[in-house]
Structure 1
Amino acid sequence: MLEQGEGLSVEFKRCGAVPEKDTFETVCSFANRQGGHILLGVNDDGSIEGVDEKSVVGIERNIVNVTSNPTLFNTSPGLEITHATVQGRCVIDVWVPMGPSVYRFKGVVYDRVADVDVRLKGDDQISAMYIRKQNLYTEQRIYPHVAKDDLDMSVLDRARGLMRAYRPGHPWIGLSDDELLRAARLKTKDFQTGEEGFNLASIVLLGRDETIMGVCPVYRTDAILRRINADRYDDRLVVATNLIDSYRQLHDFCMKWLPDSFALDGDIRVDARDVIVRELVANTLIHREYSSPFLAQLVIERDAIRTRNASRCIFAGRISPDNVSPTPKNPIIANFFMQIGLAEELGSGTRNLFRYSELYTGKEPVLSDGDYFEAIVPVPDVVAVSSPKRNEEQQVDSTLIKVKNAVRDLLISKGEVTAKDVAENIHLSPRTVRRYLPRLVDEGVLSMEKRGRTMVYHFGK
């Protein structure tokens, strides 16, 4: 600990006959965050000053008395106090575990940010701490007065189509609606209260827009393009619908505005942009704390894409493939996304973001978790003032996305599609659509067969 220095879970304190007030501010902040060690008798630079060995018993007794005093601490935090001789001097180690309550010292809530004890003054900050402390996954909360009519069951049909495309033999495909809802744990029973019905996960996954707004009034994701006008935005999309459609809308927004840089994984060309977008969008939707009043945001800038959403983490700080300890924020929602092929196993997102960010730009992303999860992924720099050629390229890319989405939706509902079907769906000419369908065949997205003079398309084999 001396070599590592002060940080999120280590604090050095000088100490005389009794600990100073700021020692108890750190006790409070450690108990409110993820726990930590307070080393008494150590200077800020890690050098050992030590404490008087004759004072050790008095110091330990003082710490216990202060933390047990209800006029000073609203709830007594757990402590473990030991001492040892280091470099010939006595050092006291006060271990403070993370506690289940929101702790206050002299009426003030302290939180730990990096190596600083921070006073929380705003109700929003304290509210986020209460969310982090609760031992219930809020997605499991049952709403007994929500009925099947409050859900959009056509979304469930689209989810079946995604399952069929991702895994043709998926066991959920042949289930009735009620059986699938039970299998996916979207309709459950609380064995503690006896309540049975649709939970929050089912509402945000399949709910009608008005149902979602009634349960989560501030639920939405702001997608913003900010390249030329840094003070406001160049384009904006506000997404406030079920998670399945939200994924598609946010994915398309990113694909429209992010450059498709050539990337090689060994000798194979890969779509690094698509993987990065998929992981960022899925993470923003799956691992959000939906009881939080904070809005989620996705911002595309000239040199990076940034996401920020409310989180409920146990261990805060920077995340990398070497130190990731994946803990599910919403296991029901995460499992549903995995079953329809829009997400992978827990922890794979971090590895994918680091790997494909390196392929995309040669730079690493920055990921951090706390009361908010934040991700910053570098992207190829885009010239702020677009040229006519650039505008033309963006238009072509946007049209390709429209064709892809129309093909996917039609195949899910019909099983096969023609150029005419796609053209009527997105109000383009069949001739324009025919320019794009062969590209999707070449990419393996589609397969085709000729029936007389008509070309019919299916999901790629």
Structure 2
Amino acid sequence: MTIEEMKELLTKDEKITVEYKACQNGIHDDVYETVCSFSNRYGGYIIMGVEDGGKPIGINKKLIKDMKKNFVNQLNNPDKMSPTLYLSIEEIEYEGMTLLWVFVPPTSTVEKCANRIYDRNEDGDMDITDSPIQLQNLYNRKSNTYAERKIFPYVTTADLRLDLLEKVRNLAKSKKPDHHWLELSDEDLLKSAGLWEKDFSSGMEGYNLAAVLLLGKDEVINSCCPGYVTDALYRVENMDRYDDRLLVTTNLIEAYDLLMEFVAKHTSDKFHLINNVNTSVRDLIAREVIGNILVHRDYSSAYPAKVIIEKDWLKTENWCIPRRHGNIMQDEFQPYPKNPIIQRFFANIGRTDTIGSGVINLYKYTPIFSDGGKPELFEDDVFKITIPLNKEAAKEASDEKKLSDREQAIYNLICENKHLTVEQVMAEFDISRATVFRDYAKIKKITGAVYDKNESVWKL
């Protein structure tokens, strides 16, 4: 690690992938709890010899050798860490002090510390050992098995809506006139789509959860996947509750149509020439967000997916198994399938395209629909999409990401005087203390500036 990289890690507050530990005279037990939580989430950096807020205080150099040795021994002690880990602490000289740091990668198995299980949440380590729902979510993240592939050996064709296969074939034909599904029997089509499979490790065979979700009768879906529901809300007049609501618990084929109709009912349309064809941009955007909450959600969770339409915004939420944390940008998105069987089925009938195309299309069409606005996609346990529906919303979102004239003036003063006090700002702009702190919060969010309370100094 370079001095510049360490400086970057220390100029920001602790977060989901960075943890500061004082540890001047030895490694404390909570360091191993952080190792555990990082292993169980996205991984991250532990920096020792640093106080909360990113203030370096250094490590007692006489103890560094023993600290390194004890760290390795504890990670290889099954009573302390299970499974055992092999990580090494590195030294770095920073501002005349010695700091210790270690990078903890995420593991493929659930990690325990002293027989307790920790997970990472923003800047803290949570003991989730006695929290069944959080434990289940953790094991789901670690699992290599897709929930959609769970086999239900007692589900038969009588439990499926085979009448929907005519619609499926017509949709497939519209996408590809010579689609191979057109020549297959119902049974062969289901097998071709991967909805019937055999588990070669257990010998169990039958229709899987993907088959039940795509084509199952409502009562069968409720039995096999009791947490499945999509809650569509329209809020304009009654913001505390809703003006219109649709609870969708039926198969994914019809759920898609119902949710598309709900969005069409409560949003205005805008047409745009695409390849010389007058096309509904609203429908293109709705197609991507509805496709996402049906195709890419984690069906092992009882968290209800949501479609929320407000005066200026279209928002969706769905539980997922995240592979990263934070905003998804068009140029850095690395696609991966969350439910590959369901995704391929939807792709065959023209309701989704290739993996990753949804992000590209949202970034392409949202500015057209909202006169310059951009989508916001945030990946965590709950995957959220926010789409501005008009120019006003686009401007609001843009304003939230830039400083006002007063905020910019305050930031300029901070750059000139890193010991700037709240009282000085109050006097300069004739504003209240509460207003100063509100402006400070936005300045910190947008510029990354941090105020060190211990030294009473701004760090830019």
**Number of residue pairs aligned between Structure 1 and Structure 2:** 383
Counterpart position of 1:457: none
Counterpart position of 1:302: 311
Counterpart position of 2:71: 63
CA 1:168–1:260: 2 relative to 1, 3 Å: same
The farther-off stretch of 38-47 and 342-351 is 38-47
Counterpart position of 2:19: 11
In the alignment, is the contact (CA less than 8 A) between 1:334 and 1:343 conserved in 2? yes
Q: Deviations over 1:14-72 (max 9, x none)?
A: 32121234322321210110212212234555565432333222112332344445555
CA 1:382–1:227: 2 relative to 1, 3 Å: farther
Q: Aligned-pair distance for 1:240?
A: 0.6
Q: Select the residue among 364, 382, 390 that pairs with 1:372.
A: 382
AA aligned opposite 1:34: Y
Q: Is 1:146 aligned to residue 131 of structure 2?
A: no
TM-score, normalising length from structure 1? 0.77
Q: Aligned-pair distance for 1:330?
A: 0.5
The 2-side partners of 1:124 and 1:47 are apart by 36
**For 2:163, what is the secondary structure of its paired residue?**
helix
Counterpart position of 2:106: 98
Q: Aligned-pair distance for 1:285?
A: 0.3
The farther-off stretch of 120-129 and 91-100 is 120-129
- The 5 A counterparts of 1:195-234 are 195-234=204-243
Counterpart position of 1:28: 36
Q: Is 1:81 aligned to residue 92 of structure 2?
A: no
Q: Is 1:356 aligned to residue 370 of structure 2?
A: no
- The 5 A counterparts of 1:184-203 are 184-203=193-212
Q: Select the residue among 353, 370, 381 that pairs with 1:344.
A: 353
- The 5 A counterparts of 1:55-454 are 55-73=63-81, 75-86=83-94, 89-105=97-113, 108-120=116-128, 122-261=131-270, 270-361=279-370, 362-380=372-390
Q: Select the residue among 45, 55, 76 that pairs with 1:37.
A: 45
In the alignment, is the contact (CA less than 8 A) between 2:68 and 2:88 conserved in 1? no
In the alignment, is the contact (CA less than 8 A) between 1:32 and 1:111 conserved in 2? yes
Structure 2: runs of 5+ lacking an equivalent: 394-460
CA 1:77–1:292: 2 relative to 1, 3 Å: farther
TM-score, normalising length from structure 2? 0.77
AA aligned opposite 1:224: L
Q: Aligned-pair distance for 1:307?
A: 1.0
The 1-side partners of 2:56 and 2:354 are apart by 46
The 2-side partners of 1:303 and 1:108 are apart by 45
Q: Aligned-pair distance for 1:278?
A: 0.4
The percent of aligned pairs where both chains have the same amino acid is 40
Q: Deviations over 1:244-303 (max 9, x none)?
A: 101010011001101114557799754221111100100000011111121111111112
Q: Aligned-pair distance for 1:160?
A: 0.6
In the alignment, is the contact (CA less than 8 A) between 1:187 and 1:199 conserved in 2? yes
In the alignment, is the contact (CA less than 8 A) between 2:76 and 2:86 conserved in 1? no
AA aligned opposite 2:365: Y
AA aligned opposite 1:52: N
The 1-side partners of 2:77 and 2:170 are apart by 60
AA aligned opposite 1:332: I
**For 1:153, what is the secondary structure of its paired residue?**
coil
**For 1:139, what is the secondary structure of its paired residue?**
helix
In the alignment, is the contact (CA less than 8 A) between 2:373 and 2:391 conserved in 1? no
Q: Aligned-pair distance for 1:122?
A: 4.0
Q: Aligned-pair distance for 1:327?
A: 1.5
Query: Where do 4+ consecutive residues of structure 1 move more than 6 Å?
Result: 264-268
In the alignment, is the contact (CA less than 8 A) between 2:72 and 2:86 conserved in 1? no
The farther-off stretch of 293-302 and 93-102 is 93-102
Structure 1: runs of 5+ lacking an equivalent: 384-461
The farther-off stretch of 126-135 and 279-288 is 126-135
In the alignment, is the contact (CA less than 8 A) between 1:132 and 1:371 conserved in 2? no
In the alignment, is the contact (CA less than 8 A) between 1:101 and 1:133 conserved in 2? yes
Q: Aligned-pair distance for 1:322?
A: 2.2
Q: Aligned-pair distance for 1:181?
A: 1.4
CA 1:347–1:19: 2 relative to 1, 3 Å: same
CA 1:77–1:264: 2 relative to 1, 3 Å: farther
Counterpart position of 1:50: 58
